Structure 1
């Protein structure tokens, strides 16, 4: 029995080994097939990514904001769309061919069919009539690409699990590293395009954040290439970042991320896209080489397993014969020892790393020592995995490599994993800091300031303490920008931030809200006098002269500060309310002479509540039809012909009576309500003029009186303002040349970014008038560069005073020299009108000519004007 049992076991062991060898042959063959399928899917994924890039560029040419950011004309964008349509057809053909090739392989047929259906759906949406936006385009294409990448990941894992050697595992891992790089390139450029073409739009913030993440993924994937096992593939992979196209792409990214970011031009963006497509193709070529090596390694494993199977059968036969000789001598002695080793091996195979006894014959002791050494290595691997799972990246066990080639490979993988985790943590930390801090001064930004204020108020509520907030608004900062340049202005802001930190107490928090506005959060305040004293120290520190660098050299500049103080006891208000109170106080400090500290008191609280009541009532009044529009005629000074109407809102407030704009527009301007009011007046006025024109048979190409609508800086600052105005004109069926948008001179001076939106509106055919001219600080030389058509001279200058008359004459001459027309407001006397005629003023309006009229009376005047009758 002692002979037959070991002999039978040896035979069974030989059969098992042969079976495993046969399985190894099958596994190696399957691994080779899966690697080849992975390569075909990679080519398909590359084609899908290229189609995504082409569609993203096509969508950008269809978006007015992106076209504006690129600095190209709509005609050029339309022409580019035609070219891109052909490019889309080409990349679609390439995508279809790659997916068809993937369907011919069993391992990739199913996912290729699914992706073909999804691609068809996305293309149908892209080819539809709706406008394309980058967010939806990226999300829908990313879903398709993600399915391909997930299928590739499953194939790599499956192929690696069936590989027959560490060399094949290493080759498959090389394929995965290159595939990760290939998959990250297109999201990187798509998110970069979103950042550059939509910055300042509704999704601007999102894409700058997304691109930092996408770009970090590319850098991480490139860093992983240093661990590629094949030297030639590793060199080729590392050289991908040093090709001319890759260096050109990196240069564009570096300019956008520099200390002084520079947005790329359309030519640079074209080179960027071409460079990315080239880099993608080069990466795909290196990936194909790696796939070929991995498939060859898997095939070699199969051949080796086939030979092993034959050798195993031969060795098994010899072992059986040898066993017959030696079992008689060693059978009894080895039975017990082998039993112990077998029990230990069974425990180990079930995942229990038990100690292995080294007793029995020499051979059994050798097996025991080897098995014990294997248990020790497995325990070390277990400890390393545990350290990584716990996040204990400083554990010394991570520095201990398991002996042998496989141990070196495992240790290299662990080391790269630890490095990647650390890089990700550093990047996440940097992104979190960037999202919460102002990049210029490194102070907490507005969002972070509100979070800190809210948290401080919660602590104060629990502790029964008081919390103070100082709102600091710089005086004279605009003059620094105008005279010394914006670089000098940035230097002033950094200096002010440093001085405020130095004056603040330990525990106080200094934040920058934006522009020249700062806040100081003070906790555990004893009384308001403590806050006033701090405010006075800040005023004194900020007001000290400083030296900055300007284009003409170093120069001394000085700014002041007005400070508003708000105090909250027991956290009785929220962060927004406390900030609004401090803002109201600084507003009073500004108007009381600047360079002073004002405290929010009951008078200001009553003013804010009254303003809030007006805002709530006005919002309700807009919905309930309490607001209506009057139309004041604008006539030619020389002939008296009707030029157009200015639309003036009036509010019939219940219980109060009829209110003029001066009673409610300033309140609306302090919130987004003014945008709602401007849209309502714009839509009403445009619709009314369109009705008059239709009633008198005027076509789209027929000239006629215009309608002027006053719009606020907040309304013009909306990135969607062009679409809003165009939508009103299209809905009403009114030609764009019949609409005049009036914007206050002061708004343009204080917010020069509005000039881009005004230029875009003029490109639609809308006329622009600079209202209240003479009350701002626009220089005469700047007039010819402003995107306006008309100057409206403020009524305060239209008088019988000889000095005012000379000033108006100068304004008219200057405007005409700049190619602009002039409208004089507030004409109340015939003598003033005669003087305007002598000065060659183009048009005028005022009570002498006509009071604002209801729509019915204004319609009668429109009908008379169309028939040729003068107003005066």
Structure 2
């Protein structure tokens, strides 16, 4: 390490000979260097922001070009679909198109094809001119050329293949659009620019969904009456739902002018024509369109697409302008910072030089301090000597103080301590004002980033409707509370609150009223809870309250009673028809963890089990998790694990209970009943394991297995007994609400039928009445299944709350009267007769289940009940027994 030589008179003499300009240079360089460094840092940040904004503007333009190109490809596909429809004799006959009108329309389509081809080429060429979209546009142009060659050469594939090929081109352009818009949003430097880019994407989503909607609709129209009609209808319904979702998302557009333009899109004459035609098709089945209506539909679809892309162009221009303004502002800030820094440095150098010329030899008294400062050590500068020396001393001291303040401000910014008071202190003079303004801009940028991060973190952890912590946050808070309890030895409580009667509010007053109820319930629960307790919303109508440092479980029970009382108070909500009083109740399950001995998921499961018991014990009450529930949970977990293993090990099999015609005794079909041969336990009926499966995803696996087994077995029986066509016995399969709620349930059922080779009319799917009442969303899936030809039966009818007037509107074919009504009680007998008469008036058939006496069967015949099943008719049969019964039925022997 280098060390300075000791002081000596000779060295002092040499230092006295140091030129004055060297001392002045030291005095000038230090403050100038600090100011220059700070200015360069600020200018660098502003330059980076300008580059990012410029990049965002370029990416937004590229996104717009790609969106217009993909729309042009979709438009060309629409014209091809219309041309294909006009070439189809069946479609031409169905639309009533005369040869003369067909020739005229063909000419119009040919002209439109030339126009959309030119538009496609124009948009792809424009996209190739932008670097960010050039590669995707060039690849798309090559693919379009190949597809046109097939069409022009007379080798046009079928409509489904044609659509898939063209859609693949559009999808690849959409993929590149997504990548470009993500890059644009990442480059945005202000919240306004990011919001404008998001608005562009929302409008582009609608534009991308419009043409597939019209194409799939025409595809369904062309395929009407063919085996592909249900599949094409399903594809169109998905496309139409995508348009509805995109339009709904447009409500969150942030720019008021853009929001007005997007709102106007839905009220144009073309939009009304298109919506009226397509909305009618969603409820009326296969449309019957005339040639004029078809032409009006195509023109309306083209006009709506063009109008949407005009709005998209405006959105792109707004986003690009916002990004450009950000870049200009950052560039101006950079230039101003550099200019002020240069002027300040020049002024400082000039001033120090002029003052230095008037300083005498006494300036050397400051040499030690100046040397320290020149080495980066900001020491205190003494002021003494002649006026000139004092001036220099004060100047050097001021420079040191300024550098110290700059150093302190830079340190605060580096630490992220934006609340440090030093950031509010400015240096004196014009330079100080400029530097302070730059520091404030930098601090504000950091604060804005922090506020945005805090807002995003809050949204990720809170329910948007009630602003309560959501499920994920509730589990985090519960886990943290349990960790604290483990350290302190205290107890932690969790109250699971499940609303009673909430679904009735949604059904009768609408979902907006339901949202208002949830907000009011959340507010009431916060008021009823103690200070320090945390109220969270898990989702739907389920809430939890986290309580720490619990002294006794009775404390939690008392809080639960307060919550039940608070929630049950009447309230008034706004509905489209005016204010409406509604009332909901609450059931509460309480779980207590001592010393944090469980994890968050387990504590939540315990509280859930307790509230389940509360609801089944009469609702509106508080239940506490105890050893009995713990044993029940353990037993349920064991059953679930064993059943999952049993499905894989073929321990589950299917029995078949005959369903017979009440009037003649003929075999109508079989109901498939799952049985589990559990090792070490024996044969288990569904009541022993299905409720456990229904509380997990295992029920879907069990339903799929029983469905595939029953459908395959009936197909084998039909082949064995030479039963051709759509007639013959049916097989009924019970399915759960969770299975029916799967998005691809229609595809699953169709795949089972196709694999087994069984007509759809031979399958009956049974769904419990209670499941339909509590989950109306299942109705659309049931309607789709009926569209395949599958029959739907409402099981356990009479145990739910379905109104008689609603029966004719439900997508069901059969009512299965619950066996509990087949008693000797005259009131039950009259009720069964009323059920049968009501079902027949609604066009439904009736099956009575649980028939165990001959007298009951005679009464059912008198009431004109259609079919029956039960132990009096037949016990559930094995595959071999059911096969013998079917053989006897085919040969003409009576069933019984």
TM-score tier (shorter): 0.5 to 0.7
Do the aligned partners of residues 290 and 431 (structure 1) sit closer, same or farther apart at CA in structure 2, a change above 3 Å counting?
Answer: closer
| In structure 2, distance between residues paired with 1:264 and 1:436 | 41
Do the aligned partners of residues 186 and 40 (structure 1) sit closer, same or farther apart at CA in structure 2, a change above 3 Å counting?
Answer: closer
**Does the 8 Å CA contact 1:468/1:521 hold for their aligned counterparts?**
yes
**Does the 8 Å CA contact 1:644/1:707 hold for their aligned counterparts?**
yes
**Does the 8 Å CA contact 1:58/1:84 hold for their aligned counterparts?**
no
- Tell me the TM-score normalised to structure 1 length: 0.64
**Does the 8 Å CA contact 1:469/1:565 hold for their aligned counterparts?**
yes
**Does the 8 Å CA contact 2:203/2:312 hold for their aligned counterparts?**
no
Task: Give the C-alpha shift of residue 387 in structure 1.
Answer: 10
| In structure 2, distance between residues paired with 1:651 and 1:759 | 32
**Does the 8 Å CA contact 2:667/2:889 hold for their aligned counterparts?**
yes
The answer to whether the aligner puts 1:842 opposite 2:842 as a matched pair is no
Do the aligned partners of residues 381 and 57 (structure 1) sit closer, same or farther apart at CA in structure 2, a change above 3 Å counting?
Answer: farther
Do the aligned partners of residues 109 and 560 (structure 1) sit closer, same or farther apart at CA in structure 2, a change above 3 Å counting?
Answer: closer
| In structure 1, distance between residues paired with 2:735 and 2:307 | 44
Partner of 2:876: 852
The answer to whether the aligner puts 1:50 opposite 2:68 as a matched pair is yes
Task: Give the C-alpha shift of residue 451 in structure 1.
Answer: 2.3
Task: Give the C-alpha shift of residue 805 in structure 1.
Answer: 2.1
The answer to whether the aligner puts 1:189 opposite 2:203 as a matched pair is yes
Task: Give the C-alpha shift of residue 818 in structure 1.
Answer: 0.5
Q: For this pair of structures, how many residues does the alignment match?
A: 683
Task: Give the C-alpha shift of residue 149 in structure 1.
Answer: 7.8
Partner of 2:382: none
SS of alignment partner, residue 349 of structure 2: coil
What do the CA deviations read for 1:561-612 (whole angstroms, capped 9, x no partner)? Answer: 3321111123222212111101111222333343332221111111110111
| In structure 2, distance between residues paired with 1:276 and 1:390 | 49
| In structure 2, distance between residues paired with 1:462 and 1:88 | 75
Do the aligned partners of residues 858 and 582 (structure 1) sit closer, same or farther apart at CA in structure 2, a change above 3 Å counting?
Answer: same
Of 86, 100, 112, which aligns to 2:134?
112
**Does the 8 Å CA contact 1:245/1:275 hold for their aligned counterparts?**
no
**Does the 8 Å CA contact 2:185/2:194 hold for their aligned counterparts?**
no
Out of 705-714 and 270-279, give the one that drifted further. Answer: 270-279
Task: Give the C-alpha shift of residue 429 in structure 1.
Answer: 4.7
SS of alignment partner, residue 607 of structure 1: helix
The answer to whether the aligner puts 1:756 opposite 2:780 as a matched pair is yes
What do the CA deviations read for 1:774-800 (whole angstroms, capped 9, x no partner)? Answer: 111111111111111100011111234
Counting only pairs closer than 5 Å after superposition, residues 607-626 of structure 1 correspond to structure 2 as 607-626=632-651
**Does the 8 Å CA contact 2:199/2:315 hold for their aligned counterparts?**
no
Do the aligned partners of residues 429 and 792 (structure 1) sit closer, same or farther apart at CA in structure 2, a change above 3 Å counting?
Answer: same
- Tell me the TM-score normalised to structure 2 length: 0.63
Task: Give the C-alpha shift of residue 847 in structure 1.
Answer: 1.6
Of 524, 532, 540, which aligns to 1:507?
532
**Does the 8 Å CA contact 1:191/1:214 hold for their aligned counterparts?**
no
Partner of 1:169: none
Do the aligned partners of residues 466 and 440 (structure 1) sit closer, same or farther apart at CA in structure 2, a change above 3 Å counting?
Answer: same
What do the CA deviations read for 1:702-743 (whole angstroms, capped 9, x no partner)? Answer: 322111110111212222222222222222222222111101
| In structure 2, distance between residues paired with 1:526 and 1:194 | 60
Of 769, 778, 794, which aligns to 1:745?
769
The answer to whether the aligner puts 1:466 opposite 2:491 as a matched pair is yes
Partner of 2:542: 517
- Which runs of 5 or more residues in structure 2 are unaligned? 1-54, 79-93, 95-107, 148-156, 214-233, 269-278, 283-296, 324-337, 355-404
Task: Give the C-alpha shift of residue 214 in structure 1.
Answer: 11
Task: Give the C-alpha shift of residue 650 in structure 1.
Answer: 0.4
What do the CA deviations read for 1:336-376 (whole angstroms, capped 9, x no partner)? Answer: xxxxxxxxx9xx99xx9996346899xxxxxxxxxxxxxxx
SS of alignment partner, residue 733 of structure 2: strand
Partner of 2:308: 276
| In structure 1, distance between residues paired with 2:453 and 2:110 | 39
**Does the 8 Å CA contact 1:629/1:648 hold for their aligned counterparts?**
yes
Do the aligned partners of residues 119 and 568 (structure 1) sit closer, same or farther apart at CA in structure 2, a change above 3 Å counting?
Answer: farther
| In structure 2, distance between residues paired with 1:835 and 1:679 | 37
Task: Give the C-alpha shift of residue 475 in structure 1.
Answer: 3.6
The answer to whether the aligner puts 1:833 opposite 2:857 as a matched pair is yes
Task: Give the C-alpha shift of residue 634 in structure 1.
Answer: 1.1
What do the CA deviations read for 1:247-292 (whole angstroms, capped 9, x no partner)? Answer: 525999xxxxxxxxxx99999999875443112345678999999x
Partner of 1:793: 817
Task: Give the C-alpha shift of residue 120 in structure 1.
Answer: 5.8
- Which runs of 5 or more residues in structure 1 are unaligned? 1-36, 61-75, 77-82, 158-172, 223-239, 253-262, 292-344, 362-379
Partner of 2:733: 709
| In structure 2, distance between residues paired with 1:179 and 1:498 | 36
Partner of 2:699: 674
Do the aligned partners of residues 182 and 610 (structure 1) sit closer, same or farther apart at CA in structure 2, a change above 3 Å counting?
Answer: closer
**Does the 8 Å CA contact 1:768/1:787 hold for their aligned counterparts?**
yes
Task: Give the C-alpha shift of residue 466 in structure 1.
Answer: 1.8
| In structure 1, distance between residues paired with 2:855 and 2:798 | 21
SS of alignment partner, residue 680 of structure 2: coil
SS of alignment partner, residue 827 of structure 1: coil
Partner of 1:248: 264
Of 550, 553, 557, which aligns to 1:528?
553
- Aligned alpha-carbon RMSD (Å): 5.9
